[in-house]
Amino acid sequence: MDTSHRITADLTAAAHDAFVADRANVVAKNAVTSAGVSSAARVPEVAALATTTFDIQLEQGDITNQERSGRCWMFASLNTMRFRVMKKLGLKTFELSQAYPLFWDKYERSNWFFENIIASAAEPLKEREMAFLLADPLCDGGQWDMFAGLVKKYGVVPKEAMPETKCSCNTGDMNRYLTRYLRAGAKRLREEIADGADAEVVAHVKTELLQGVYRILAICLGEPPATFDVRIRNEKNELKAEGTYTPQEFFREFVDMKLDDFVSVINAPTADKPYLRSYTVRYLGNLVEDGGVRYVNLPIESLKRAAVAQLKDGLPVWFGSDVVQGFLRQDGVLDPAALDVDGLFGLPIEAGLDKADRLIYGESLMTHAMTLQGVNLDADGNPTRWRVENSWGDDRGKKGYDIASDAWFDEYVYQVVVDKKYLTEEELAAYKSEPIELAPWDPMGSLAR
């Protein structure tokens, strides 16, 4: 038996001797075992650089809280929309219902799932794409394009018109049982098709399954309102809005946002995704009629240029990032230099991979969506720090806000959503071009949660 690949006692002894010979290792061990890696690696000088005053600073109102749910993409989207309501009505704070789009997303995503199951019914279950479809058909995560589609179809409502429930604040049980129901539905649909059922029979089965989805959602979240009464007063107790509205009417009158003007711009600096090309992702979406998502891939400087321009025009910016990287959560600081992990361990842990390599090797991808609410600029107009509105409550960070360095933006921001007027003609033409379809498991198909 070849023993050359085994870990031997001599190898382990050598590792031990090298460890105890370096005083820094012993100090690091004592610190980490007592306080944990993040606390021991925290760089106080970097935390101290996080200003709370910005050259461009939008005021949003009370910080929202997604609690134990993966709805950050909804919260970030609604935060860009409630900003417009507050500005229009002169309100200090206001909140749109996050349970309302959650209901419709789960409902629409179930239909999306069933349609994909029907379309792929001839594929063996062992195929990778089938495994992907069945793995997590109903998670909370999403993308801007998916939210925009929901709003165009279903509108929005004030929070009091559809308040949070136990299942919207903590989606675990609802998702678990609904996912099990969907998988059983997938089995039924595949078996019907395998037995020779025609399209009419299959459609009937899908309709029956969707009625079951609606029932589960209504029990967990309550039924979405078709109409609702509105009475909105400002801080001076002045009545600023009243009447009865449908969700679509409320969106048109008070949010007044041309959703089709907003485009998703990504930064994926990998060789397989040339810049100035548009991309979509197979199986990524929720509304069947919308046909999925679309991005244009641009250099990071283009994302920053467009984001600054939109902030200068007084509007927040939806963005997606890998939020856990370089993050001092309690300080509310996002900076690659905030945690000296490499110095703590004496190894090139963070320095070992650049942004492209992190995507290729599965180290990083978009995990969380937030909104940019401000930016500091240097003498040449280049951003130095960003003010970030999160959706994790106001008891952390800078009263719920985080401060991101521009270096962190370079390394860990993967997507911004901006009005198309901030793109150049060349960039916009690239966005409108026929998209290249990425595999379902491509890192740029990740969902913000």
Q: Which residues pair with 75 in a beta bridge?
A: none
For residue 385, give the nearest of 405, 411, 402, 401 by alpha carbon.
Answer: 405
Distance CA 25, CA 85 (A): 55
Q: Which alpha helices (H) appear in 313-394, and where do they start and end?
A: 341-345, 355-360
List, as own/partner pairs, every contact residues 395-400 make where C-beta atoms lie below 8 angstroms and the sequence separation is at least 24, other chains included. Answer: 396/329, 396/330, 396/332, 397/329, 397/330, 397/331, 397/332, 398/50, 398/52, 398/332, 399/63, 400/63
For residue 56, give the nearest of 312, 301, 378 by alpha carbon.
Answer: 312
Per DSSP, the residues of 187-218 read HHHHHHHHTT--HHHHHHHHHHHHHHHHHHHH
Tracing tokens 């740029």 back to the chain, one arrives at 444
Distance CA 197, CA 181 (A): 21
Catalytic residue among 116, 267, 376, 390: 390
Helix (H), strand (E) at residue 415: strand 413-419
**Tokens (6 digits) for 111:** 């239909």
Distance CA 205, CA 222 (A): 24
Catalytic residue among 72, 167, 267, 376: 72
Phi and psi (nearest 5°) for 418? Answer: -135, 160
Catalytic residue among 167, 220, 368, 376: 368
Distance CA 67, CA 392 (A): 7
Known active-site residue 390: yes
Distance of CA 98 to the CA centre of its chain: 14
Known active-site residue 368: yes
> 432 and 426 in contact (C-beta within 8 Å)?
no
Residue numbers annotated as active site: 72, 368, 390
